Structure 1
Amino acid sequence: MPSNLYKRGAVWWARIQAGGAEHRRSLRTSDRKEAQRRLDQLKKEITAAVHFGESRLTWKAAVVRYLTEVGPDAVKPGTLKRYTVSLGQVGPHLEALYVDQITRKTISTLVSARSKGGASNATINRDLTAVSAVLGAAVEWGACEANPARDYNRRLTRERRESIHPPSSADVEAVITRCPGLFASMIRFLAQTGCRQEEAAGLTWGQVNLKAGTVTFLKTKTSRPRTIRLEPETVAMLTALPHFLGSDAVFWHGKGSRYLNVSSRFREMVRSAQKSAQRVGTPFRPFRCHDLRHGFAIRALRDGWDIYALSKHLGHSSVKTTEIYLGYVPARAGTKTGTSITVSPGLHPQETAKSAS
């Protein structure tokens, strides 16, 4: 019989040495197997209390502390919002645990469960990043010693790049005609500039120079402001937009409020366009709001834009990101002879060629 498991009458007791002290506790059972199970759990709890303090940190408490104390200063608001979604998704798999109980096997089981539940590798990787952020903070707080989410082999969740299907101009127009108010103008702006949806939704008149035909995005994914040149048709559209007194938002609704939840609003418009097309027998291929950006990039290369100019226009951190679009255009597109690789953001191919001369 193990020396740390003994009986007092019919009840099993535990005797555990930890931190230079002996801990004795009733296991409140007369069943030998149940006593062993409770002993093993008690060992973990006492060891954790000795190493990490009397109060262990639960996963749920760690998430709350991270989102309120750490996240707002550590990551961008958009990233924190994405973390919040991911942490909500993984909650059922981790909320019964203390952070020091989360092991490599725990993370592996989580990944398997998310995959079986239909989550893509891209989604699982975002989940792992969020979990790693919380566990990383927990390590700094002294609540656990390791961050198994950070050490998880991401090659096991390698993301497959999906084929790009840029929407046709007819499909884009079909959706725009169903968009209310200035939401329609914002979607047209996205299609004509290729900017990110948050860049358009948060656009203010202070960022627009109609005389110069430019727009400067201040809050970008790369945290680097950039200025793009607008096509004449886009300048004309912006010039005709109504302003709301007391609001600087370019695309507004109600009492001058900017649009929120752009993706979900857009999906509603796409579903409406799809139902209408089905009723009259018109071809229509559903697409995402982000596909407007893909469509712009592919059209720009087909029109002869220099790949480096396009990369700067789109705000990519590396031209390698932009190069994915070369697979959707003729071989020589985006590599015009005589174009310069040092260009200003948003230069059109003709202007790029001039800058090389």
Structure 2
Amino acid sequence: MPLEPYQRGEVWWAKGRVELDGQAITGYLRVSTGASTETGARRWIAEETERLKRRHIVGEEADEFTFDDAVVLYRAKPADAKRLITILPHLTGRAVAGITPKEVRELGPKILPNCATDTWWREIVTPIRSVINNAHDDGKCPPIKIRGYGTKERVAQDKARGKQSRVEKTPSDRDWLDKFTTAADGYNAAMAQFMFETGARISQAVALVPKDLDLPRLRVWLGASKGHPAQWVAISEAMAAILVALPPKRPRARRGDQRLPPRVFGYAHPTSMHSRWRAICKQAEIDYIAPHAAGRHGFYTEMRVRQGLDPITAAKAGRWSDPTLPDRIYAHSDVDEREIRARAGTKPVQPPSKGKG
């Protein structure tokens, strides 16, 4: 009989055996789940069952392989390495086979109590999952599958920290772009226009170097990002003329007075331009729109909503492999909600009736 929950006093327990393909892989178990509700008990049973199945497949030797060992095997990028430094004290010395999905999820509020659930997932859950599953690929431990934070958890955490997460982004439009470029210096004006025209991410725009420009053939080499490969991207003649007139600029290093190799738009890092971007918006007396929303969101909303381009073509132009994704995330309505309510009003204006002759 598979593990089933039952209540003893105020705490729910589990009894039964863990099965794999209809065969029992454990003896008869009778253990407390620590949960105060049946839902919590069933969740514990699901995660414990998954853990014991993984241990059965890989073997008991997995208990000797620790999270520290898994981190050593993982080739972490600088951002991931920084996250793992924060995570490691909470899992150091732990056998990977004994780390449960529930435990990983609970590290989010423990390590970052004032952050959103999306931040917990990005900063805590994803690095841990990547480290463990990378070690599994080498045959060192069982894999791990972790359930995401639900809407109820996200809303509760937003309420607890007094701040809403997943606020809808405001895309730029041509009027906003015209005002921004009028107030901006040549480099920021060109970068804003470039991202709006191509749908490039801010990281891709900042990374452009002179050799990435093939202006006679009206194209720019964009680096790989978010799952799509590096590739040539077409630009308009007007954009080519802007880039021709823009001399490459050597940005200053974050520390010291060292000058880095020339960049097309003169920035060394995607975060380097945010304060300048805000200042330009203030000078232009327009709402601040972050670079990602001004560029990538602005591009797709312009193509799909304002110009009515079909989703397949618009997604391809913006280098989305799944054409359904940008419609869900990057397309924003320009219609004032009050206009919609007026159309559905209880007393719509009736056209005048024709009189009898």
TM-score category of the 2 structures, normalised to the smaller one: 0.5 to 0.7
- Which position in structure 2 is the counterpart of 1:167? 172
Aligned-pair identity in percent equals 21
Which of 268, 271, 287 pairs up with 2:275? Answer: 268
Which of 307, 311, 322 pairs up with 1:318? Answer: 322
- Which position in structure 1 is the counterpart of 2:310? 306
Deviations 1:220-273 (A, max 9, x none): 43343444332332111011122579xxxxxxx9453443321x2232224434
**CA offset at residue 309 of structure 1?**
1.9
- Which position in structure 2 is the counterpart of 1:234? 239
The reply to whether residue 83 of structure 1 matches residue 84 of structure 2 is no
The reply to whether residue 294 of structure 1 matches residue 294 of structure 2 is no
Amino acid in the other structure paired with 1:110? L
CA distance in 2, matches of 1:88, 1:177: 44
- Which position in structure 2 is the counterpart of 1:146? 142
Q: What secondary structure, in the 3-state scheme, does the structure 2 residue paired with 1:108 have?
A: helix
Which of 284, 287, 290 pairs up with 1:285? Answer: 287
Deviations 1:261-302 (A, max 9, x none): 21x22322244346x55xxxx854232221121012112231
- Which position in structure 1 is the counterpart of 2:40? none
**Contact 2:204–2:225 under 8 Å retained in 1:** yes
TM-score, scaled to structure 2: 0.57
The reply to whether residue 103 of structure 1 matches residue 107 of structure 2 is no
**CA offset at residue 109 of structure 1?**
2.0
Amino acid in the other structure paired with 1:261? H
Deviations 1:104-125 (A, max 9, x none): 3421321343573313325515
Q: What secondary structure, in the 3-state scheme, does the structure 1 residue paired with 2:220 have?
A: strand
C-alpha distance 288-88 of structure 1, shift in aligned 2 (>3 A): farther
Amino acid in the other structure paired with 1:269? R
CA distance in 1, matches of 2:173, 2:332: 18
Once the two structures are superposed, the pairs formed by residues 1-357 of structure 1 within 5 Å of their partners are: 51-52=60-61, 58-67=66-75, 71=76, 80-95=77-92, 97-113=94-110, 116-121=113-118, 123-125=120-122, 127-139=124-136, 145-147=141-143, 150-154=144-148, 156=150, 162-167=167-172, 182=187, 185-243=190-248, 254-258=259-263, 259-262=267-270, 264-273=271-280, 276=282, 283-291=285-293, 292-301=295-304, 302-324=306-328, 325-326=330-331, 328=333
CA distance in 2, matches of 1:84, 1:133: 12
Unaligned runs of 5+ in 2: 1-58, 155-164, 251-257, 336-357
**Contact 1:114–1:124 under 8 Å retained in 2:** no
**CA offset at residue 152 of structure 1?**
1.7
**CA offset at residue 93 of structure 1?**
3.2
**CA offset at residue 209 of structure 1?**
3.0
Cα RMSD between the aligned structures? Answer: 3.9
CA distance in 2, matches of 1:142, 1:255: 43
CA distance in 2, matches of 1:273, 1:124: 33
Number of residue pairs the alignment of both structures matches: 253
CA distance in 2, matches of 1:267, 1:230: 25
C-alpha distance 117-92 of structure 1, shift in aligned 2 (>3 A): farther
CA distance in 2, matches of 1:127, 1:322: 26
Deviations 1:186-206 (A, max 9, x none): 343223322122322233444
Q: What secondary structure, in the 3-state scheme, does the structure 1 residue paired with 2:233 have?
A: strand
TM-score, scaled to structure 1: 0.57
Q: What secondary structure, in the 3-state scheme, does the structure 2 residue paired with 1:228 have?
A: strand
C-alpha distance 173-84 of structure 1, shift in aligned 2 (>3 A): farther
Q: What secondary structure, in the 3-state scheme, does the structure 1 residue paired with 2:291 have?
A: coil
Amino acid in the other structure paired with 2:311? I
Unaligned runs of 5+ in 1: 1-49, 72-79, 246-252, 331-357
